[in-house]
Chains A and B, each alone.
Chain A
Amino acid sequence: KAGVTQTPRYLIKTRGQQVTLSCSPISGHRSVSWYQQTPGQGLQFLFEYFSETQRNKGNFPGRFSGRQFSNSRSEMNVSTLELGDSALYLCASSFGSGHYGYTFGSGTRLTVV
């Protein structure tokens, strides 16, 4: 079966712009989580959606937002981009509890210049 698909793979944006990243989970998976990976902070939890509802949110400013659609596809948006937002953004989906192993996509590499 198809894995978790993230688009686009690479993105270059200018400070102050906004960006939208997309994630299509594995078919049947209703939970979608987003993580940010940077060299300094490692992998950090952004938010989690289940059945179109945000169930959990990490310690990120309000410029980071997301949503989930009825088909479980999810998008995350970052407004007013800052240089420090440059990172690999990873999406993960799971069927139930994550201790069976979340499945991650290959990520979107965002560079802010």
Chain B
Amino acid sequence: DQQVKQNSPSLSVQEGRISILNCDYTNSMFDYFLWYKKYPAEGPTFLISISSIKDKNEDGRFTVFLNKSAKHLSLHIVPSQPGDSAVYFCAATDAQGGSEKLVFGKGTKLTVNP
């Protein structure tokens, strides 16, 4: 069963507009939520994280919102730039099993058009 879901495989936005990437999860024991960005032939790059006890975290153009009751989080990118075009992965930290591991969604491909 997929505990972290990104239901939109792709998203296309215009440069300068807002990009909103969504993520749903099922496991209420997740401790932290993270967003990673991945370019082809490179490893994922950490963008921003949020604790499960917070509802918002902001870092420059990136803001992550967490709605625990809905088990939903979103990443807002404002303003979007062509260089933001990449695959974005939502992940959650799972500390069960003896140590922490990341549980990933399957990713959303963001295309920012000039």
Interface residues of A (CB under 8 A from B): 4, 31, 33, 35, 42-45, 48, 50, 55-58, 90, 92, 97-107
- Interface size of B in residues (CB-CB distance below 8 Å): 26
B99 at the interface (CB under 8 A from A): yes
* Chain B residues whose CB sits within 8 angstroms of the CB of A35 once the complex forms: 102, 104
Instruction: Report yes or no: B104 in contact with A99, Cβ–Cβ below 8 A.
Output: no
Instruction: Report yes or no: A99 in contact with B32, Cβ–Cβ below 8 A.
Output: yes
User: Known contacts being A4-B43, A99-B51, A102-B46, is A33 close to B102, with CB within 8 Å?
Assistant: yes
Instruction: Report yes or no: B100 in contact with A106, Cβ–Cβ below 8 A.
Output: no
Instruction: Report yes or no: A106 in contact with B43, Cβ–Cβ below 8 A.
Output: yes
Instruction: Report yes or no: B46 in contact with A101, Cβ–Cβ below 8 A.
Output: yes
Residues 8-60 (chain B) with a chain A CB within 8 angstroms: 31-32, 34, 36, 41-46, 49, 51
* Chain B residues whose CB sits within 8 angstroms of the CB of A31 once the complex forms: 99
B46 nearest in chain A by CB position: A101
Instruction: Report yes or no: B100 in contact with A97, Cβ–Cβ below 8 A.
Output: yes
B100 nearest in chain A by CB position: A98
Of A33, A48, A106, which one neighbours B42 at CB under 8 angstroms? Answer: A106
Cβ distance B66 to chain A, nearest Cβ, rounded Å: 13
Instruction: Report yes or no: B101 in contact with A42, Cβ–Cβ below 8 A.
Output: no
Of B31, B89, B97, B101, which one neighbours A33 at CB under 8 angstroms? Answer: B101
User: Known contacts being A90-B44, A99-B93, is A55 close to B49, with CB within 8 Å?
Assistant: no
* Chain B residues whose CB sits within 8 angstroms of the CB of A102 once the complex forms: 46, 102
Cβ distance A37 to chain B, nearest Cβ, rounded Å: 9
* Chain A residues whose CB sits within 8 angstroms of the CB of B46 once the complex forms: 101-103
* Chain B residues whose CB sits within 8 angstroms of the CB of A42 once the complex forms: 89, 104-107
B35 nearest in chain A by CB position: A101
1/0 contact string of B75-114 vs chain A (CB within 8 Å): 0000000000000010101000111111111110000000
* Chain A residues whose CB sits within 8 angstroms of the CB of B102 once the complex forms: 33, 35, 43, 45, 92, 98, 102
